[in-house]
Amino acid sequence: MIQRTVLIGALALGLAAPAAQAVDFNVSTTGELTSALSTAASNGSADRIFMAAGTYTGPFSYAGGEDLQIIGAGEGQTVISDTGSGDTALDLENFATYSVSGLTLSVGASASRGLELRGGGTVDHVTVDMDPSTFATGLSIEHAATLQHITVLGHGSGGVGVYDLATAATMTLTDSSFTGADVSVYATAQATIDAARLKISAPGGYAVYDLAGTIDLSDSLIDLGTGLGVVGLMGTDGNDTGHGYSVAIDASRVTIAGSGGNGQYGAEVTPNSTGDNFTIALHDSLEYQVSLPLACNRPSGHGTGSVTADYSSLDASGDYNGTCGSPFLITHPVTNTGLQLADPAHGDFRPLFNSPLVDAGDPAALAATTDLAGGTRPVDGDGNGSAVRDVGAYEYQRAAPAISAAGAQPTSANTGDSITFSATASDTDPGETATLSWAFDDGAVASGSPVSHAFTTAGSHTATVTATDSAGVTSTQQVMVTVTTPAPDPGTSTTTTPSTDSPPPADTTTTSTTPAPDTTTTITPGPATDAARALVLGAVRIRGAMAFFTLSAGATVHVRLERRVGRRWRAVRRSIALAGHSGANAVRIPARLLRGLPPGRYRATCVATDAGGHTSAARRVTFTIRR
């Protein structure tokens, strides 16, 4: 054992060492832990014990009156095990303030308790692993305490997960889970439990058992499993007919789920003595496939009991009344059919966007809190501008879809070149998918991913992608690309040739040693006299299967092709007509008109003709086809 002593600051002044010393203990064996607990109990000061990973075989106890922290290396790493008959694995006896964290308590078949906390304090990130045959208590609390991130593994045992014996004091229990214990949470007479975000699964008998105490439970799930006779919320006097008890369970935004079979109870009270007054109140809560949603059983005919439900979703039939008079009051009922839950068959009871539970709770203001999954509550789930709590343990989040990997390939291109745009979208809300749509700044639109688009004008261009989820919630992201006008083919020169039926002039094309692309373009400007004509065909450029030109008015551009053979140009029997409008045009040449043309140099003579028969001056462009 390493003992790290922290002396009171008087030593720094050269004074005598004080009697009290604060000590940190680092332990790694059972013997070292026993010694550290004994030393800490008698050194007159608050201490800390750091437990290395490993298994420590108990029982262990601490009887000192000083505050103590016990800090493990983590759940499942530091394990305190006890298999002795009637023993408590870790017994913190006196009324000091304790902190226990980062460890697992292994409760054997004959053990009595995992942890007994007789003073106040905090228990955080502790797992209780119970032998299937034990009837032990995992955590026994006898004073005001805070328990958080507790995991109880009952394995179908007859044990109790958390037992609150703190009379006239409050135990806070949050963010914890219980599986397979006979009783998950137990409050005894005059004890108060304030619990939130609990997940209780497959209790053997009772999920929440109130023996004449007070329990406030919120934002929690009780999954009854398939057990017969199991009860979600139970208020009782334990058949003690000699006293008049008060029981109060207040359950807000709680989901109780059954298997749909007979003999499962949602909320039950059993007053049995004169003076008993038992109440369970459900608020904004859901009972799903629970055969007996509300029950009151008064076998002796004494005491009073009531179960109320406000803004809650319950099966309309199946309530059990055992000589209790009129014990049930249901106000502002919420439908219990067509609930649209994520995956209840596999324990996922989150509401979908179209669930009738969304925004169906009490419309009164609710202070911001979190649901069982840690989501914000309340949320404006139906998008009407008002945030109202949902019914049950989970709040529909109405999250906007997330867009990722939005981009373009390439990010720089020439006019007329095809650019591929792509993105992905995801949504955290259950059961929702997102679709993608695109809007380009030239007015074009597309859907899906990937999509292709070509811009006809140079400059910086924007593509806006929009993701829309199943609820109609959207998010957007922009992708920027740069578009430039390509330079003329360096392997050709330009000539000016008027339209004529005479034989073509001698070839003036200069051959380049650099291979040209499949459809390199040379633009041949028309003569200056074109400006005086009523119909003007501007410079023509052919790139790939696209023809680019400008017109002073709407017209059809007729193209006559010639192919270079030796030193002469020979006519090609193809008739090409391209419809254009006033201004800049980018027109795709039908593939059938270019199909079958052999590789080589070509010359296109272009003349525009409008609806009135007016023609423009000819424009000539040369280009090369390579296969």
pLDDT at 498 (0 to 100): 36
Q: Are residues 369 and 251 in the same domain?
A: yes
252 and 391: one domain? yes
Low pLDDT (below 70) residues in the chain: 1-22, 239-242, 300, 487-534, 627
Within a domain: 100: no
Residue 582 maps to a domain? yes
* CATH number of domain containing 406: 2.60.40.10
**Looking at residue 397, what is its pLDDT?**
97
CA atoms within 13 A on the CB side of 402: 6
Q: Residue 79: name the closest of 107, 104, 116, 113 by CA.
A: 104
Q: Is residue 293 located within the same domain as residue 409?
A: no
Domain limit, last residue, from 398, 413, 447: 398
The verdict on residue 20 lying in a domain is no
- Residue 588 lies inside a defined structural domain of this protein: yes
pTM of the model: 0.75
Domain extent, residue 421, equals: 402-484
| Statement to judge: residues 584 and 604 lie in one domain | yes
Residues 441 and 458 grouped into a single domain: yes
Are residues 261 and 299 located together in one domain of the fold?
yes
Domain end, chosen from 363, 398, 433, is at 398
Is 33 inside a domain boundary?
Answer: no
Question: What distance in Å separates the CA atoms of residue 381 and residue 397, rounded to the nearest whole number?
Answer: 6
Whether residues 538 and 472 fall in one domain:
no
108 in any annotated domain: no
Q: How far is Cα 368 from Cα 176, in angstroms, rounded to an integer?
A: 20
371 and 425: one domain?
no
C-alpha triplet 533, 536, 537: angle, nearest 5°: 145
- Residue 487's pLDDT is what? 67
The count of domains in the chain is: 3
Residue type, 367: A
Query: Which pLDDT value is given to residue 602?
Result: 85
Distance CA 469, CA 437 (A): 12
At 512 the three-state DSSP class reads coil
- Tell me, yes or no, whether 333 and 425 share the same domain: no
Is residue 280, in this structure, part of any structural domain at all? yes
377 and 468, same domain (yes or no): no
Residues 373 and 421 in one domain: no
Tell me, what amino acid is at 93?
E
Looking at the structure, do residues 412 and 447 belong to the same domain, yes or no?
A: yes
Question: CB-based contacts of 12: which residues, under 8 Å, 6+ apart?
Answer: none
336: Cα separation from own chain's centroid = 26
Structure token pair of residue 46: 């608050």
**Which of 484, 501, 532 represents a domain boundary (last residue)?**
484
203 in a structural domain: no
DSSP one-letter string for 457-499: S-EEEEEEEEEEETTS-EEEEEEEEEEEPPPPPTT--------
Q: What does each C-alpha distance from 122 to 117, 129, 518, 566 come to in angstroms?
A: 9, 19, 77, 97
